[in-house]
Amino acid sequence: QVQLVESGGGSVQAGGSLKLTCTVTSGYNNYCMGWFRQAPGKEREGVAGIYNDGGSIYYGDSVQGRFIISQDNAKKTLTLQMNNLKPEDTAMYYCAASGLFPCALSTRSHSVAAGDFAYWGQGTQVTVSS
């Protein structure tokens, strides 16, 4: 069983930065990990994913060039550095992990596919004001 705990959300003005951290508290062997977000009334969106210990990284189109995903296996953490934040980035952000599943959907599509991820954190809120 993989357990994930997110931290680092908050409120920031447009143009600012935030760093989200996901700590893996159990179940450390994950083929891929990622960040998703969901705003009220909108579908869940894949933000960034890291696969095969950093062998591949994918970003959602709306965050490409502004967000950076990274992984520290020694600390068992996944981070999302969010720069140049925009009001449309406002959402609940979720950390996700695949467990031992090979993340084939993401690999085939070169995108962050929610179907690859079996384990999810509780989420952390990010609010960006204009």
* pLDDT digits 0-9 by tens, 67-108: 999 999 888 999 999 999 999 999 999 999 998 888 999 989
Distance CA 63, CA 84 (A): 10
| Mean local confidence (pLDDT), 15-32 | 92
- Coil/strand/helix, residue 122: coil
Structure confidence at residue 39 as a pLDDT band (50, 70, 90): very high
Structure confidence at residue 31 as a pLDDT band (50, 70, 90): confident
Distance CA 7, CA 126 (A): 10
Counted residue by residue, the chain has a size of 130
- Please determine, for residue 109, whether its predicted confidence score (pLDDT) is greater than 80: yes
Distance CA 87, CA 79 (A): 21
Q: What pLDDT does 55 receive? A: 86
